[in-house]
């Protein structure tokens, strides 16, 4: 008997699929089935590139929030 998810498992992941996998792995909630699919059908270069981009966006977001808080906390100390 065939599993209806077999056709999905054989396809290479899309950009959104790679992004979802990277975000899930950053939070530590990646399922074992999805991890196996990523390792068997995904290209490592895609995950590395998306991981670097997501990390860069995360760092810039934290930096922006810190800058905003510093301006709001002491507006006269610029």
pTM for the model stands at: 0.71
pLDDT at 1: 47
**C-beta neighbour count of 19 within 10 angstroms:** 17
Is residue 37 scored above 60 in pLDDT?
A: yes
pLDDT at 64: 96
How many Å apart are CA 25 and CA 55, to the nearest integer?
A: 12
Domain boundaries defined on the chain: 14-73
Is residue 3 scored above 60 in pLDDT?
A: no
């Amino acid at each position: 008997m065939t599993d209806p998810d077999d056709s999905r498992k054989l396809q290479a992941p899309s950009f959104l699929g790679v992004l979802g996998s990277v975000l899930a792995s950053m939070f530590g909630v990646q399922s074992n089935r999805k991890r196996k699919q990523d390792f068997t059908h995904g290209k490592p270069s895609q995950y590395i590139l998306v991981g670097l981009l997501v990390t860069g966006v995360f760092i810039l977001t934290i930096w922006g929030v810190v800058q905003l808080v510093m301006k709001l906390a002491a507006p006269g100390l610029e």
